[in-house]
Structure formats: structure tokens, C-alpha cells
Amino acid sequence: MQPSSDTISPPPGESTLQRALLAYGEARRSAAIAARRELSLNELDARALMFIAENPGARPSHVREHLGITSAGVTTLVDRLVQREVVRRDLDDEDRRVNHLTVIVDLDSPPWCRLRAFDDDIESAITALDPDEAGRLARVIEKLTATAMR
């Protein structure tokens, strides 16, 4: 008798949990690639946009530090985002050498919401879990990632 698809064993050396975590990572990467393609953004531009959205008024130096790129690289990146009219560059009132960056598109509305859609869907699924079950899963994942980061 053939096992049902619910009881298929993972390949030797790979646990069901490992397979699920790998599938999650691949699904998240694929969703991010599709969203960036739809919005005509490269990965660095998308990461910068999300960072600026989470840190309104950030300076280009903060973006540079967050992304680990050169000053020239961040200047080019910010110029691209400003030219696309997704970010605004404002001069500091006290120091005109300083710029502050602000996202000027609504990342919660189409098409920009695609950047967060996968994570928003996962968050909805997590909130539907029993809180104890979600806590146990979080502890397992934290333990796994702490072990992997050594």
C-alpha cells in the first residue's frame, strides 16, 4: 500500500521540519523576486525602500550602514529612488549638508503592497495559530537559528 502524501518520509538526513523551513525560505525568496520584478526594483533598492519606510527621515549614511554599501553606491541608489518618485530627499533645517529620506508612496496600497504581501500573509497565518503553539514554534526556530549562527 502506498503511503498518503501526508505521511511521505523526508529524504534520508532531512527532517520534515528542515524541509518545511527550506520551503518557507524558498517561497519567501520567490515572492520577493516576483514583487521586485513587478515593481521594477532591484534587491538593493527594495531593501533600501523598506528600511527608509521603517525609519522615516533616515539619512543616506544610515541607509549605507544598513545595506553595507559605499557612499557613492548609496548616492546612486537614493538618486534612483528619488527619480522614480518613491523617496523624497529633504535638506536638514540646521545643517544643509544633511539629507533626510522619506518614502512618498503608500507601501500598503497596490502595487507597492506586493513588497510586504508574503510577510503579511504569514503574519495572518501566525495570528490564527494557538498562542502556545506559536510560542513553541518560535522557540524551536530561535534555537535552530542560534545554533546555525555559531
In the predicted model, what is the mean pLDDT of the chain? 90
Q: Mean pLDDT over residues 112-120, rounded? A: 95
| Pairing verdict, β 99-103 and 87-91 | antiparallel
Categorize the per-residue pLDDT at 6 as very low, low, confident or very high, splitting at 50, 70 and 90.
low
State the Cα–Cα distance between residues 145 and 74, nearest whole angstrom.
Answer: 30
Q: Which pLDDT does position 112 carry in this prediction?
A: 95
Q: Is residue 3 part of a domain?
A: no
7: in domain: no
Domain that holds residue 29: 15-148
The predicted model gives 8-33 an average pLDDT of 84
Given this model, what pLDDT does residue 56 score?
Answer: 96
Residues 6+ positions from 52 with CB-CB distance below 8 Å: 58, 63, 81, 87, 101, 102, 103
CA–CA separation, 98 vs 78, rounded Å? 13
Q: Residue 93: inside a domain, yes or no?
A: yes
Q: What is the pLDDT of residues 118-147, one digit of tens each?
A: 999 999 999 999 999 999 999 998 998 888
Which residues neighbour 36 within 8 Å (Cβ) at sequence distance 6 or greater?
42, 43, 46, 115
In a domain, 5, yes or no: no
Could you tell me if residue 88 is inside a domain? yes
Query: Does 19 score more than 80 pLDDT?
Result: yes
CATH assignment of the domain containing 113: 1.10.10.10
- Rounded to the nearest 5°, which phi and psi values hold at 75? -60, -45
- Nearest-CA neighbor of 45 among 71, 78, 2, 5? 78
Residues 6+ apart with CB under 8 A from 101: 52, 57, 58, 59, 60, 63, 78, 87, 88, 89, 90
Residue 106 Cα to chain centre, angstroms: 16
In a domain, 120, yes or no: yes
Beta bridge partners of 87: 103
How many domains does one find in the chain? 1
In a domain, residue 125? The reply is yes
